[in-house]
Amino acid sequence: MDFKSKIILISGPTASGKSSFAIKLAKKLNGEIINADSMQVYKQLKILSARPDQKKYQKIKHHLYGFHDVKKNFSIGNWLKLVLKKIEEIKRRKKTPILVGGTGLYFKGLIDGLVKIPNIPINIRNQIRAHQLKIGQKLFYKKLLELDPASKNKINPTDSHRSIRAYEVKFYTKKSIHEWYKNTKSNFQKSDFYKIYIDFPRMELMERINVRSKEMIKNGAIKEVKTFIKLKVRKDKSVNKAIGINEIRQYLNNEKELGEIIENISIKTRQYAKRQSTWARGNMNSWFKLKPNELDNFLKKI
């Protein structure tokens, strides 16, 4: 296969070694790396977002890392607009674009195109979320299928995020989210991509996450959050979802001990990795799966 003619996509759960693998692949293919992680775009969140260290770039060009201000929201639409330009620029330089990150929706938007669903009023979205919390995911999923039968076998019954999204879209637009998807067009053909998913064994990944949580604190995550707090970022900004901000804030407020907040960061990161894996099972079946011990052999074969 002529990998150099492809747009390479590399995904996997957090702490699975995507960034280092991408650098090795870029060296092989004369490639440039583009960020596909929703938190690594923020310039003030280097440590908490596990942004690759510039010293590790090893003369490989990296794009869309640490450029956006935390006080401003950043959407998939913003990312897609920028990434399309970057892919075009890289290809014009006769190099291979390599996109790496753990935000599945970014990859979905790139591969399938961005769904142009009308903005749903926040009061309606909040009502639906409150309803889901009140009745629980099992019953809410049943209600979703009554409202939108097209969601059957397309949304995992345990996937609360996609269930809520599908419900609010059908409720507000009177049209199934799957109909919106059908009418969405991508800028690319499916054959333009080569998609790699790093499938890390669960127990090994959990241990890597535990180690990373401790290293983040050692590397200055507390100082980073102190600086973030001084910026007085509004609570409705998407950056506040970054794991570690609220936990370290509790430590700084003397509400919890350091050991406890490290454990809480680790727990939340493990939960996030589990959600990423669940999303991948439902949306990345066509991706080429690689175990961590297969990465080197894969690189040798190129």
The pLDDT tens digits of the residues spanning 12-47 come to 999 999 999 999 999 999 999 999 999 999 999 999
Give the closest residue to 103 by CA, choosing from 15, 186, 36, 200: 36
Q: Which domains does the chain have, with CATH numbers?
A: 3-115+189-201+279-301 (3.40.50.300), 122-182 (1.10.20.140), 203-276 (1.10.287.890)
Amino acid residing at 144: L
Within 13 Å and on the Cβ side, how many CA atoms surround 83?
31
The pLDDT tens digits of the residues spanning 140-150 come to 999 999 999 99
The pLDDT tens digits of the residues spanning 83-111 come to 999 999 999 999 999 999 999 999 999 99
Asked if residue 198 lies in contact with residue 11, where contact means CB atoms within 8 angstroms, the answer is yes
pTM of the model: 0.83
Neighbours of 22 (CB within 10 A): 24
Helix (H) or strand (E) holding 10: strand 7-11
Sign of CA dihedral 79, 85, 88, 91: negative
Give the relative orientation of helices 245-252 and 258-283 as an angle to the nearest 10 degrees: 170
Q: How confident is the model at residue 290 (pLDDT cuts 50, 70, 90)?
A: very high
* Residue 195 to residue 184: CA distance in whole angstroms: 20
Q: How confident is the model at residue 54 (pLDDT cuts 50, 70, 90)?
A: confident
